[in-house]
Structure 1
Amino acid sequence: MISHWLAELQYRLGATIDASGKIVPDTSWSAQLLSSERLWMLLEGTHVLTLMLFAGTILFVDLRLLGIAFRNVPVSRVADEVLPWTVGGFAVLLLTGSLLFFSNPLEYWHNFAFRLKLGFLVVAAINIFWFHYRVQANRPQWDEAPVPPNAVRASGATSIALWFVVIFAGRYMAYDWTKCMNPGPLVGAVAQCEVYDQTIEKIDEEIAQ
């Protein structure tokens, strides 16, 4: 169901229909965005640069939670200083990432590294909510401590590890071995390459009709 909807999004939305009622290949909005001379590169560059801002500000807070950096600065002050940058970076990441996904949605959805990235993003979000609603409930007691309690440090270490994997997976999305191109057993199973092949075959038949 998801693959079919994404195929419609990628191949049909905004596409030109010729006199015989057939879709003209590579005329959809997704195809035009992917093949644009400058826009796609601008989006990708902005996404990567903003990721550095977003991940960097999170790293500042996590290093303070671990008691490695800024040990003489209260945790609350470090968090409050970088929070606007983190939120702003996340907003730009969400926008550029959505547009990049729109440029090739079916391919990205059936990409092993993309699914790995998506899964760890969910886990990273859970870790953030867990920290804010449980771990830092008693922050006034350890806010100024050079080395916070074990639970706080564990949350900081988990955050660093999760965001590292997210960035690592995002970097490998461009490699052929993560796509449904002669995939190995693991990649094929996780990326559901059989579903991908069936969807592409159906789209090709519809275009050829």
Structure 2
Amino acid sequence: MSTVQLPTASTSTTAPAAAARTAGTRTLLACAVVAAPLWAVVSLTQALCREGFDLTRHPLSALGNGSLGWLQIANFLLAGLLTVLGATGLRRVMRGTPGGTWAPRLVRVFGLGMIAAGVFVMDPADGFPVGTPAGPPATLSPGGYGHMAAGSIAFTALIAACYVLGRHFSRAGRRGPAVASRVAGTALLLGNGWAMSGGPDGTVTLAVGVITAMLWVSVVAARARRSA
């Protein structure tokens, strides 16, 4: 006589719980996927449209000043929050793998740095907003110092995260993503270094480096989301 095996309480509850956790992880990863494109599009659109702004002279952070400065402030805060949430998703999918501890941590630090960069606004400088004297500000405000500190921490964390991701993919035998991770980290390292040294068009190299590294984290999150 055949018997019908009924699901036990553990098996009947484990599957929905696992499905809910997977859905939650995918949602968190989606936050990381959209963070970089959102920040880049909003920043570059303003760079093209805001009167007096010149990307060859002004960093994208300067957009936090002026009557429309709230747009860039909100951009920093929202993208930072999305990045922090996305880091939790990366931690879930990378747990137990090489770099699986530090890559998400560093991405989270970067997100927190973006939030801080939105709270502490860069001082007006070099003719932006319109009416600001040419050249750097005579003195930095507390907010200006805070923005510089937040940027330094955020950039360092993002560069390190890219290199840790490079190690993660190398150990997994994925040469293409490993190279791309290191290229993204190096783009930000060199772009930021050139800008800090006062090199010509340093604000452009910084913008390129930041956006490249941020977009790569979004790509990594998108790939993880597909396999989650």
Query: Under a length normalisation based on structure 2, what TM-score does the superposition of the two structures give?
Result: 0.38
Higher relative contact order, chain-length normalized (CA < 8 Å, sep 6+): 1
Query: Under a length normalisation based on structure 1, what TM-score does the superposition of the two structures give?
Result: 0.41
